[in-house]
Structure 1
């Protein structure tokens, strides 16, 4: 069973909320072979406008599954998050199986069964293709993070890559969902 660690911010986690989350997250168990060792970290936050934000994170050995959803209905946000996590799991399993088949061509019969299952579920596999539609090259200019934020805002972008004057490494500033800014520094 996937154990849920539920934390509420500005909301009391009632038994009804806990049961709904545990029931929905437990549906993900069918995708795991080692479900007893998995934990799901669930954060619930409510805002003054009665909106709820639900974050579900499932850390695993080689992969971290994470979904976040804001909605007026807390239960709907949980349902949407579980749907997102299910898509992430299917996408990851498809990639793993594809790599496995490339190494072992005699396993092609498994691919046919998997594709039939995807068609039955209404998933044509299009979300597995990652297409880069645009590529850009540019010089990284040395600047501090405040200057990078100004450049980002001037360009109307959500993020900006720059050479940090202080650390002499590549850094990224980005605009957060709450309207504030974040900084990612590389080593």
Structure 2
């Protein structure tokens, strides 16, 4: 694990031995992202793996409660690392722009409409299976922060703990481009 100031970089392999050259290259590329961080603790994890003929680089960056993640699959491991780092850099630029905009404009808490969940339609003769389970720590945040996190991750929904009510809520992107909020009664 490499450490630079407040930043730590961990490079691991899954069914792959990480060579010193791959480790050094990964650390060098990820270190370039640190120009975006001022203060606070930063942690980056790089997971390298090979599946069939695809070289996969997964990059996760933790920055003061914000999670940035990217994955790249190419036929060359170095290209996968480059692409994964570039994607996180794009997310960081987007995040920085949003924060600057947010400081310039006042954001009203009621900007996100509360959406009632519609009654579920009867399922067809299909038995869905849970194919993936994700576990993650949730820090309390506002609706606006949850929307920003959802956008950074490129997801259509985001589960979070609301900082005011301390209940689990879900924000989601609607087809009309607006956002919805699901909160318990």
TM-score (norm 1): 0.55
Structure 1 runs (4+) greater than 2 angstroms displaced = 141-149
How far apart, in 1, do the equivalents of 2:64 and 2:121 lie?
37
Q: Which one has a larger percent strand, Structure 1 or Structure 2?
A: 2
Unaligned runs of 5+ in 1: 104-136, 150-185
Give me the whole-angstrom Cα distance separating, in 1, the residues matched to 2:35 and 2:94.
Answer: 15
- Structure with the higher fraction of residues in helix conformation: 1
Query: Given the alignment, which residue of 31, 47, 53 partners 1:43?
Result: 47
User: What secondary structure does 1:45 align onto?
Assistant: strand
Aligned to 1:109: none
Match of 2:95 in 1: 92
1:65 Cα deviation from its structure 2 partner? 0.5
Residue 56 of structure 1 corresponds to which residue in structure 2? 59
> Which residue matches 1:15?
20
Give the Cα–Cα distance (whole angstroms) in 1 for the partners of residues 46 and 125 of structure 2.
32
Tell me the number of residue pairs that the alignment of Structure 1 and Structure 2 aligns.
116
Higher-Rg structure is 1
SS in 2 for 1:147: coil
1:39 Cα deviation from its structure 2 partner: 1.1
Considering Cα pairs closer than 8 Å and 6+ residues apart, tell me whether 1 or 2 has the greater RCO.
2
Counterpart of 1:155?
Answer: none
User: 2:71, 2:9 → 1: CA distance?
Assistant: 16
